[in-house]
Structure 1
């Protein structure tokens, strides 16, 4: 059974930096992400959260377009978020988890082309320093929004504890990789 690919690979007028898609997102965080044309349609973050658990079971992933490259980075970030929550001394409540993951989202992280980036063989570096700064700020904004939406899903049952169905994936590694941001 093949892995699930992004439905945004065929997105019209998609900006690409290096070979990574810059897609519109619905967000409350400031940044360079373009706004969606229809705010009621799912964006790449919704797609990441929907496909995370299924895709995290795969060791191989065939990249079919620039949106798949963004999906890979976001799935690996969700894995790191779950590992961060799971490694806390005490199980964090929703407010503590929000703070923890927002800090993780804005911490310094490598982008494609940087030496410590774990998937450099599959990603092209940005063409210029301006593109690199744009990509870093876009990924920071996307990571912040993804962390916020992940916390909403983790604590959706109202018990004050993260969902065991999500936390059971904290040790799974998509493609046996990690962004190493914990």
Structure 2
């Protein structure tokens, strides 16, 4: 069974930085991301929906620029879940929100940087302006992804993170980590 790919690979007007798509998202967080229609699923919804299925795969064939963004966001979810699971006592929803928001804005490597784990599959941004734009876009998407992930982690109302989500902390998509 093949891995699940982004349905946004064929997005006609998507801007690209390096070879990664800059896709619209539904958000209230300020940043350079184009805004998506409220009723349409965006890349963050798609990432959250495909995370658990795709995290079972060690190989992933990249079929387009949206898949590259999907990979980065899936790896970020893995890092978020590891951060939540690492606390001795189960985190409350507010603690998880603060911790993951901090993780989202922390310094992280971009494609082309020496510490980026998937440089073989990603093109570096063409210049410094593009690199700054990509960093701002990824910070905004990571913040929105962290907020929506916390909502899903604590959706049952018990005040404890979902064991079904945390069970994926042991799985590494493509055996990689962003290193956060």
Normalised by the shorter chain, which TM-score bucket? Answer: over 0.9
**Structure 1 partner of 2:89:** 90
**Structure 1 partner of 2:111:** 112
Q: CA deviation at 1:12?
A: 1.6
**Structure 2 partner of 1:132:** 131
**Structure 2 partner of 1:50:** 49
Q: Report the 3-state secondary structure (helix = DSSP H, G, I; strand = E; otherwise coil) of the residue aligned with 1:10.
A: coil
* Poorly superposed stretches of 4+, deviation over 6 Å: none
Q: For 2:127 and 2:30, how far apart are their aligned partners in 1?
A: 23
Q: CA deviation at 1:39?
A: 1.4
**Structure 2 partner of 1:21:** 21
Q: CA deviation at 1:167?
A: 0.5
For normalisation by structure 2, the TM-score amounts to 0.99
For normalisation by structure 1, the TM-score amounts to 0.98
**Structure 2 partner of 1:63:** 62
Structure 2 unaligned spans of 5+: none
Q: Report the 3-state secondary structure (helix = DSSP H, G, I; strand = E; otherwise coil) of the residue aligned with 2:24.
A: coil
**Structure 1 partner of 2:73:** 74
Q: For 2:74 and 2:93, how far apart are their aligned partners in 1?
A: 21
Q: For 1:48 and 1:68, how far apart are their aligned partners in 2?
A: 10
**Structure 1 partner of 2:142:** 143
Deviations 1:126-153 (A, max 9, x none): 0010000000000000000000000000
**Structure 1 partner of 2:157:** 158
Structure 1 unaligned spans of 5+: none
**Structure 1 partner of 2:4:** 4
Q: Report the 3-state secondary structure (helix = DSSP H, G, I; strand = E; otherwise coil) of the residue aligned with 1:16.
A: strand
**Structure 2 partner of 1:170:** 169
Q: For 2:88 and 2:126, how far apart are their aligned partners in 1?
A: 42
Q: For 1:119 and 1:163, how far apart are their aligned partners in 2?
A: 29
Q: Which range is displaced more, 68-77 or 84-93?
A: 84-93
Q: CA deviation at 1:28?
A: 1.2
Q: CA deviation at 1:89?
A: 2.1
Aligned length: 180
CA RMSD, 1 decimal:
0.5
Q: CA deviation at 1:95?
A: 0.3
